Chain A
Amino acid sequence: MRLISCHIENFGILSGKDFEFEPGLNLICLPNGSGKSTLAAFVRVMLYGFEEGARDDFKNERRRYCPWQGGVYGGSLKFETGGETYVLERTFGATAKKDGFSLRDEKTNLEYGGFSSVPGEVLFGLDSASFKRTVFISQSDCEAYSTDRINSRLGNMTDMSGDMDSFERADGALADLLNKMSPTRKTGSLYRLKDEIGDLERTVREGAALDDELETGKAKLLEAEETRDQLERRQKSLREFQDRAGKVNALIDIRKSYDEACAEYSGRKADFDKARGLFRAEPPEEPELKRAENNFSRINELKLRAAEMKPTPDETAELNELEKRRLPELEEIDQKISLCGRRSQLVSRIKAAEPQMNRTGAHRLALPAVIAGITAILSVAAFLILGAAAGAICAAIGAVIAAACLLVPKDRDAESQYKADKSELEEIDRELGDFIKKAGLGSEGEELTGALYKLKSEAERLYTLKEKRRRFEEEFPMGELSETESELNGFLVKHGIDGCGSADEGLRVLRQNLSGLDNSRRELERAAQKKDALEGREDFAEILAADPNGRVDMEGLIAEIREVSEELKNADSAVENLKRKQDGLRQKRDEIDGEEEELNEKKALLAREKKRYELLGETRSMLGKARENLTSRYMEPLLKGFRKYYSMMNGQDPEAYDIDAGISLGIHEAGERRELRFLSQGRRDLAGICLRMAMVEAIYQGEKPFVIFDDPFTNLDEVRTEGGLDFLKKLSREYQILYFTCHSGRAELVET
């Protein structure tokens, strides 16, 4: 194939440029900076597109060659292959998606799809990297090494699988896989698996220790349970003992109470007996005593009444005396008094009348004065005998009479009256005289009145005394008194208290004694009740049997129970803790069992993976070996080609050089095979160019491709440069050569 022409619309520094290419050697001599390399790049980019991905603006070819001046970014390339001419037009946008592509058959001007969007790959059968390693030789990049594509082209294999192409990928994938599985790298799965197995083994080993711990724990748990059970039994025993002790102590307390009750009973009995002993006879019942007391009260009452009613001895003597005198009755006395009064009246009237009869002024006054005098005497006597009221009344009457006497004049009638009066007076005197004789008064006149009054008073006194006596005799319940006294006395005698100072004292004592006896009885009854209550208990026999010295120290017992309860609580906790620990150990043991299963699985997995790793290693190794075997087949022709071109360029046979299966040049110097990187740049470039051409020759057995030389001789000396140029001329007989240079001298050499 060959390039025919190209048009660069805008590409890097090139803009609106056209180039024509001839078969054979095409010299493009341009000064520095005029776009030689850009042109070479343009051809490559037109055939392969940009190498994308770089971020750096220089390394990113799309941005690097983007025309600063703007305009359509792209161009066209006309080329010929297989006898046909094609025109390739491309424009480039900011991204590949915005690129334009057109490949037409120049003859038909129709789109030709036979080259795909990467026509270079179809034309050269190489990818872009392989293109740059072979038919595109740029300055300072002459080093030759193979790629899969190159190797596959060198092997002349057209297998559909593209094995050689995929060898690198396969080898890389296997290397990655082996790396991931590495048993030596910490990140390797086999390494980690071994680590995990190690951890699991350690854990599983702990299982044995755990079993021992479980056994020990089991024994401890049994022991702890036994201790707890013992403490439970002890606690139960103590509590039962506490119940019994409580009962025992209660019995003892009851026994004590019983003893006390008995003692109290005895005491009360003694008291009672003593109290009973105070009674001569059977102690009176309350009603009886009450009756006695009532009798006493009654007697006192009667006696008081008697004292009031019964005449006193003096009164009795007085009465006797008065009775001896046979005093007239009070009525008679009163009547006599009245007579006296009448007499007086009469006397008065008579006297009064006498003056009348023999009447003077003085006589007239004499009567009222007499009346007044008599009234005064009578008033005093009445006052003394009958009281103040009687005295006053008498005084008043006298005053009225006196007043009347003053007022009443004397007259005839008065005379008759006088006579009557005198007669009456005589009568009265007579009656009074009899009475006086009878009464033995011996008084006359006013004295009589006084005496009468006195007599009356005596009669009244006699009457009073007699009445008193009568009343006493008739009304005073002497019988009752006697009976009551007799009864009381009998009571007192019966009860031996007649010797007391008085019945009152006796009764009081008796009451007191009885009260004391009652109290004693009550106390005794109470004590007896208490004692009986205790004796009536069902457990009385036990109470009797209770040993007062057998009291259980409840405080101490409670303290002991508390202590045991505390110990039991601790023992329970200990048992629970041990159980929890055992549960935890069992769980852990189960986990370890699980991990033991996992360990076995992992061990099996490790064995499998190790085997796999081994086989994968063998796979990689043998794939590499197969590749080497394959590439070694074309090593010979490559070496032959290299030597030819080396001789062509250098004029010497490169015996010292060889090529390995990796298509890598080496040189034998100083007894050793050395890599080319140890040689000078010039020698390296020289060797690289020759090897590249050897590859091109080996690859393209049929239609030859064009080869681009972008000033590759910059590191060669003059001789070798001259050799290189000559080399180009010879090459151009077979290949279309595009030689870019900025050296005019070299251009001249090429043209000559």
Chain B
Amino acid sequence: MKLIHCADLHMDSRMKFLPPKKVKERNAELRNTFTRTVSYAAENDVKGIIIAGDLFDTKSVSQASRDVVTSAVADHPDIEFYYLRGNHDADSFLAGLSPAPPNLRLFGNNWTEYELGRTVITGAEMTGGHSRLCRTLSLDPDRINIVVLHGQTVESAPKNPEDIDIRELRGRNIDYLALGHVHSRREERLDGRGRWCCPGCLEGRGFDEAGEKGFVLLDIDETAGTVNSEFVPFARRELKELEVDITGLAGQAAVTAAVRSAACGLNPDSLLRIILTGETGLEDELDMTQLEKDFEDGFYFVRADDRSRPAVDYAGYENDLSLKGEFVRTVKARADLSDGDKAAIIRYGFKALAGAEVV
């Protein structure tokens, strides 16, 4: 029997770093990713979809998101949807469902179980006090136990509401702990019997969620009592961060060429963040807006950040009698300033003296 384990789709996200039109597009793509996931399940004989929290990002769910989810559930009565709400999900979605479709399985503040053949899917929603909940978990060792929670694992007493003390869940006959909340994929052994897995978010929304995103496909052998998992990349678009060292490159054109070379082969559907690193000349001026503009046609979205540091040739200014030379020596003499600060001050000073915009 196959199940899909996904989480953190965060429909109706703000994604403020994108222009409004693209925010709308991306939210449509988030909804579409959910629809495609359900279609994948239907086409691949998946019996159930576990949504381990944060299906929505806002407390007030948009009508479009509401419709997509309710339609997907209603149109696939043969697929069980196990929806566990996360810290971002509010009750507005469920409040609008009257009645809830029979194949939409919900969880409450206490453990709720659903049987699917020999497999039992048990879950509880995050309300704070995970430890208390975990201690009350009692599972039949003869069943294939899948537990669903939304939170982040810790190996200590929880300090935050979303902390799950993983130690409390060991030895409780869990075969697979399906988690949500952390947006990057991670899977580790829980105990001698089972594993815990966070599939990461289904679709990246910001550059802090760069890389492959998707869901985990569980293949349950009810006879053997085993649960095998496989990550399926499924996001519509990938967010990529591209670091380009511009040390030694002089001028905008050279930097642009270096970025172009580094970006060669990248998927044009991606959202690309160009990060310039390395050292630049004090008097070099890089226009990030221009850089973004040069690449905007090649990718869905481009953002350029300059993390390069000006390189200061202190020795070169040692005998410079000009104001610049005096300035550089004055700055260098400040032992209380870091090299980075000194470089920044010198860059600011040079730009000010050149009458350029001091940024």
Binds A, one of B66-74, B90-98, B99-107, B249-257: B90-98
Judged by a CB distance under 8 angstroms, whether B275 is at the interface is no
Residues of A within 8 A of B353 (CB): 161, 163, 166-167, 170, 623
Q: Contacts A582-B92, A590-B60, A615-B345 given: A626-B327 contact, CB under 8 Å?
A: yes
Chain B residue, CB-CB nearest to A218: B91
Minimum distance in angstroms from A715 CB to a CB of chain B: 36
Note all chain B residues with C-beta closer than 8 A to A620. 352
Q: Are A164 and B323 in contact (CB under 8 A)?
A: yes
Residue A173 is within 8 A (CB to CB) of chain B in the complex: yes
Assess A586 versus B349: contact at CB under 8 Å? Given A597-B14, A615-B341, A623-B327: no
Interface contacts (Cβ under 8 Å), in number, total 106
Task: Indicate if the CB atoms of A586 and B16 lie closer than 8 Å.
Answer: no
Closest to A211 in B: B59
User: Are B322 and A174 interface neighbours, CB within 8 A?
Assistant: no
Q: Mark B3-18, 1 if CB is under 8 A from A, else 0.
A: 0000000000010100
Min CB distance, A172 to chain B, in Å?
9
For residue B284, CB closer than 8 A to chain A, the reply is no
Cα-based distance from A267 to B324 in the complex (angstroms): 134
A408-B215 Cα distance, complex, nearest whole Å: 170
The closest CB in chain A to the CB of B91 belongs to A218
Chain B residues closer than 8 Å to A174, beta-carbon distance: 348, 352, 358
Distance between B247 CB and nearest chain A CB, rounded to angstroms: 22
0 or 1 for each of A584-610: is its CB under 8 Å from B? (1 = yes): 011101100110011001000000000
Which among A159, A173, A622, A630 is the interface contact of B345 at CB below 8 angstroms? A622
> Hey, which chain A residues are within 8 Å of B344, CB to CB?
615
Cβ A622 vs Cβ B331 within 8 A: yes
Q: Are A157 and B321 neighbours in the complex by a CB distance under 8 Å?
A: yes
**Do residues B358 and A622 form an inter-chain contact, with CB atoms below 8 A?**
no
Complex contact B60–A586 (CB within 8 A): yes
Give chain A nearest CB distance to B107 CB in angstroms. Answer: 17
Given known pairs A174-B358, A615-B344, the reply for A583 and B92 (CB within 8 Å) is: yes
A627: CB under 8 A from chain B?
A: yes
| B277 adjacent to chain A (CB < 8 Å) | no
Residues of B within 8 A of A623 (CB): 323, 327, 349, 352-353
- Which residues on B sit within 8 Å (CB–CB) of A625? 330
With contacts A173-B352, A615-B348, A622-B330 taken as known, whether A583 is within 8 angstroms of B60 at the C-beta atoms is: yes
Provide the main secondary structure of the chain A interface.
Answer: helix
Q: Is A376 an interface residue (CB 8 A)?
A: no
Query: Which one of B322, B334, B345 lies within 8 Å of A157 (CB-CB)?
Result: B322
- A161, B95: Cα distance in complex, Å: 70
Q: Are B59 and A590 in contact (CB under 8 A)?
A: yes
CA distance A161 to B327 in the complex (A): 14
Is the CB of B318 closer than 8 A to any CB of chain A? no
Contact between chains at A159 and B322 (CB < 8 Å): yes
Q: Does A616 sit at the interface, judged by CB under 8 A?
A: yes
A169 contacts partner chain B, Cβ-Cβ < 8 Å? yes
Q: Which residues B328-359 have CB closer than 8 A to chain A?
A: 329-331, 334, 337, 341, 344-345, 348-349, 352-355, 358
Is there a chain A Cβ closer than 8 Å to B222's Cβ? no
Picked from B91, B323, B348, the residue with its CB within 8 Å of the CB of A626 is B323
B322 contacts A170, C-beta separation under 8 Å: no
Residue of chain B at shortest CB distance from A163: B323
Chain B nearest CB, measured from A727 CB (Å): 33
Instruction: Please name all residues of chain A whose beta carbon is closer than 8 Å to the beta carbon of B16 when the two chains form the complex.
Output: 594, 597-598, 601
The reply to whether B58 and A590 contact each other, CB–CB distance below 8 Å, is yes
Q: Which residues of A contact B60 (CB under 8 A)?
A: 583, 586-587, 589-590
Most buried by B among A155, A163, A166, A587: A163
A–B complex contacts, Cβ < 8 Å, 17 sampled? A167-B323, A173-B358, A174-B352, A214-B59, A218-B91, A587-B60, A589-B60, A590-B59, A597-B16, A601-B16, A616-B348, A616-B358, A618-B337, A622-B330, A623-B349, A625-B330, A630-B323
